[in-house]
Structure 1
């Protein structure tokens, strides 16, 4: 009888302990730095998805265009979640896998060829594939959509340097300075490229 009483008391204490224990949310805690930080954040990161794990993009110079004097309807921003998700897939295809041909198809399939971010990345991908003619077409398309798209001015400036057009690259640098000043990452990146010997291969 005494042994049975002890068992009931023990089971009762165990049940009370389990019912009173705090619940831990799945996936909670840790994971600092989920957004990649600073200029390496994707320009289409949505604030509405903050409760979901955010993709971490490679830390690199100038992935987010720096602009001042943005208008409310600036074409460099978008609220369409499906477009943003598709863009992030193409972004990863470029910067994580360096699969530029696939990225071009992915970007074109979004149906927003005239969006400056999309056109710029298509131009970038063509440049990385060595197709400078198509690359130029898409850089020009990006700047037609948004003349203040500094990331395009930076990448197009690198295009100019790779083609031996140093004076044009300097003009692109001056355009960046006029838009975001000389302290923004796009300016510093292109300025550093201009300091390198002719024929240098650029990471971006």
Structure 2
């Protein structure tokens, strides 16, 4: 039943996206802008540690005309990147989520979607679902196309028993990066599990 629902939601989203896309009307190719290489959480649902990619500074000078922005945001300050890397390792190497939250907040970029998402993830791992939700929503307010936040917030929804909301998050991911990206596969796999199954990610 869940598999059928996921497929139906995905098919509907792709049909709507295809009909509304400039590529469809103009006959050109389009880029989905999947999280691929800029995804600091790629594969986080699997048993392997995700490979970090660190944010780069964004802004008017970093924007290139004619290029479609990606689904992940970034900042390029070397000091920020080093601090972000340290916090990332604190989470994935030492599983010290409280220390990582302090490290991330000390960077002074709380409103950057990569930072806010990682803070939300850390709070979720600590079991503080209210704070986690605040940070996921903060990330999506700054960047509504932040695929990683849609994935992790979707997993949050599942942990809270909100399967319909998790399906909505899955549909957002499908619209942003398709059904082949890791974020989609991770959340889809979690949705396939019976309700009440402990999720490991």
**TM > 0.5 fold call:** yes
Give 1:1-204 correspondences, 5 Å limit.
59-60=48-49, 69-70=68-69, 76-204=73-201
Q: CA RMSD in A?
A: 2.7
Aligned counterparts of 1:62 and 1:191: Cα–Cα separation in 2 = 21
Aligned residues: 149
TM-score w.r.t. the length of structure 1 is: 0.67
Q: Distance in 1 between matches of 2:197 and 2:155?
A: 10
Contact 1:119 1:139 in 2 (8 A): yes
CA–CA separation in structure 1 for the residues paired with 2:185 and 2:51? 10
- Contact 2:87-2:100 at 8 Å conserved across structures: yes
Q: What stretches of structure 2 of length at least 5 have no aligned partner?
A: 1-34, 41-46, 55-66
Q: Larger Rg: 1 or 2? A: 1
Q: Which has the higher contact order (CA 8 A, sep 6+)?
A: 2
Q: CA contact under 8 A between 1:61 and 1:185: conserved in structure 2?
A: no
Structure 1 unmatched ranges of 5 or more: 1-37, 44-57
**Normalising to structure 2: TM-score of the pair?**
0.67
Normalized per residue, which structure has more helix? 2
Corresponding residue of 1:11: none
Contact 1:193 1:202 in 2 (8 A): yes
Residue 152 of structure 1 deviates from its aligned partner by 0.4
Do the aligned residues in 2 keep the contact of 1:42 with 1:88 (CA within 8 Å)? Answer: no
In 2 relative to 1, CA 41–141 (structure 1 residues): closer, same or farther, beyond 3 Å? closer
